Amino acid sequence: MLRSILLVPSVSKGNGSGHLMRCFGLAKALGPGAAVYVPEAKAETSWSAAELELAFHRELGGISLVTSLRDQGRDSLPTRSWDLVVLDRRAITRDELAFWELFGPVLAIDEGGEARGAALYLIDILPRAGSVPNLGGQGPNKASLGFLDLPRNRREPPRVLRRALVSFGGEDPAGLSLGLARLLVTTGLVRATDLTLVSGALRRGAPPLGLDGVTVLGPVQDLKEHLHRYDIVFTQFGLTAFEAAWAGCAVILLDPSGYHHSLTRQAGFADIGVMKPDLGALRRWLSSPAELLARTTALLPEEAESLAEYIARLSPSGPRSCPACSSFDRNALYRDETRSIFRCGDCGLVYLSRFSGGREDPYHRSYFFEEYKRQYGLTYLEDWPNLLALASPRLDRIEAHAARSLGKGESLRILDVGCAFGPFLAAARDRGHESVGLDSSEEAVAYVRSELGISATAGDFLDPDAASGFEGPFEVLTMWYVIEHFEDLDCALRNAAALVRPGGLIALSTPSGEGASARFDREGFFRRSPEDHFTIWEPSRVGSLFEAYGFGILELRITGHHAERLPGFRALTSPASPRPIRSIARALGLAASRLFRLGDTFEIYAVRLEAGALEAAAGEARGSIRVRVKRGGTTRS
């Protein structure tokens, strides 16, 4: 559960009051752990805390305000960090996003700026282009009109459109209220005595005058609860438009800018243009109340949802910057309600930022038994013969590389990180190697000790005490489908480098972000990727990554080939296909997968370089470090 949340609304003049009101409401609903940031100092282009407290003194009752983000006399340091920073700023730059990330993981609401593709978590409440989740990474983690603070008071749809309300928000910077009200009255489309004009809390200039018979109101507290009194509401794209629709009113929009107008069209509202009302369109809509009401009703959410409750349930974890190079430059590739997947803009690594709690003990017994059986049809121990069969060729490669880099291929000291119940350890011991295991599962480690008689330790490889507790350095360190589970990849690779002697080897396997599944069903690949896979590795990018930690790639082997995952081969290899066709298609598909390196997993064998060798390899690796690729057969992936 989130303990502290900083809400950051737009206070820019011209952006209206919707962002402020939403953050005020969220702060009250979220309770004592929430605070709203408004700057104390007055700026020419934004409202100050003092001005906002005067305008919204009732709304701010009981809300904690933050007016400064820096320690006095220490301008470069944040005063504190927050469990979550919620930005409701309309549109911000990537630089602004990076600033707010100094204070905590950032969730952006209705973000329409360049930061949209980089925000750790994105909620769209108002419809926009790209509001479809997973749309090329630009879609939100969650989209719902139901998150609007919808009015409790509702009415039956009116039969005639007589009583009209004109309201253009708390500021009306474009001055649309008075002009539209005059047009409605002077053209006889609305009688003056049936028209109400609302002047917002932040409206500048003199109150509108000269409309005899029109009811002119100042700021209206909780306006949305009074909308049901009207048959039709004239406003701009924003919260009031949706609140009026929910209240049962007909709605017509006049927008202050092309930006708002594009959102109006995308949402589907009836509109009369930008800045200057289109009188012809206005007459057409008012002459067809049934069509207008049908258009408005079609925009309604199915049900109301609590945005505050949804935000409070989020549990940010995983890296906020690239886990390899620490860059904050990133672009979203995929989003869903529990996570965002990004590509680092600097080193290209694909990594996960998670917003679900995950499992408290992710690698307990069910991970190796019930969950493993759901994926492979056998429990981990039932699959032992297959796991031993995978270990044998891996050891062949390790021994061959060790013979060249160390001058020995026998009796190697091997540390297997993430050893599970120990099939690789058992295979290594049977070949005469001194094998040691490490795993976070105490049950698995107990099995390795008692049933296999092999030394093993229960612990977290990222824990400095666990990593330094071994009598290293080792000649070989292995991680079979483990590296992707580390939240802190930098720490994992540094620990690995510290535990492997110069000339020693690191060998690992991991799912491939360049295999058939990732290439031909990218959304499905990301959707199926487990929530504890914090990085997704791509064979084309591992050379420079390993070089940064003192390793040079010796061999990169593409594995996990599946003919049925290639376009056009799924139907041909299905059980419904005739056996001869199925056999030929499978053979051709496997051949194509190997030829084009489309396996869904891969193995890396790398050498720990000497300091001098590392410097020499640095320039060579970027261009043509010799990577010997072997295309393996089908393996578990």
pLDDT in tens, 396-417: 999 999 999 999 888 999 999 9
How high is the mean pLDDT of the chain?
86
Q: Tell me which of 130 and 448 has the higher pLDDT.
A: 448
The pLDDT value recorded for residue 629 is: 34
| Structure tokens belonging to residue 349 | 């690594």
Query: Could you read off the pLDDT of 13-53 as tens digits, one per residue?
Result: 877 777 888 999 999 999 999 999 988 766 677 887 888 88
Question: In sequence order, what are the residues at sequence separation of 6 or more whose Cβ sits closer than 8 angstroms to the Cβ of residue 371?
Answer: none
* Domains of the chain from N-terminus onward: 5-124 (3.40.50), 164-297 (3.40.50.2000), 365-561+598-631 (3.40.50.150)
Alpha-carbon span 561 to 424, nearest angstrom: 22
- What Å distances lie between residue 222 and 34, 59, 173, 201, 552, CA to CA? 21, 9, 20, 12, 65
Give the percent of the chain with pLDDT over 90: 61
| Structure tokens belonging to residue 61 | 């009752």
- What Å distances lie between residue 58 and 21, 219, 430, CA to CA? 11, 12, 76
- Rama region for 295: left / alpha / beta (φ>0; ψ in -120 to 50; rest): alpha
| Structure tokens belonging to residue 440 | 């976070």
pLDDT score of 259 more than 80: yes
The pLDDT value recorded for residue 382 is: 84
Alpha-carbon span 239 to 252, nearest angstrom: 13
Alpha-carbon span 34 to 3, nearest angstrom: 8
Mean pLDDT to the nearest integer, 192-217: 74
DSSP bridge pairs for 460: none
Query: Could you read off the pLDDT of 205-251 as tens digits, one per residue?
Result: 444 556 789 988 877 778 899 999 999 999 999 889 999 999 999 99
Question: In sequence order, what are the residues at sequence separation of 6 or more whose Cβ sits closer than 8 angstroms to the Cβ of residue 340?
Answer: 120, 121, 122, 141, 332, 334, 352, 353, 355
Cβ atoms 559, 599 nearer than 8 A = yes
Query: Could you read off the pLDDT of 65-113 as tens digits, one per residue?
Result: 888 886 544 445 556 789 999 999 989 999 999 999 999 999 999 998 9
According to DSSP, residue 575 is labeled T
Work out the pLDDT band at 625, boundaries 50, 70, 90: very low
Reduce the secondary structure of 430-457 to three states and give it as a string.
Answer: HCCCEEEEEECCHHHHHHHHHHHCCCEE
Alpha-carbon span 193 to 402, nearest angstrom: 92
Residue type, 313: R
Query: Could you read off the pLDDT of 447-492 as tens digits, one per residue?
Result: 999 999 999 999 999 987 776 677 779 999 999 999 999 999 999 9
Strands (E), 121-214: 121-124, 142-143, 164-167, 195-198
Query: Could you read off the pLDDT of 173-187 as tens digits, one per residue?
Result: 788 988 999 999 999
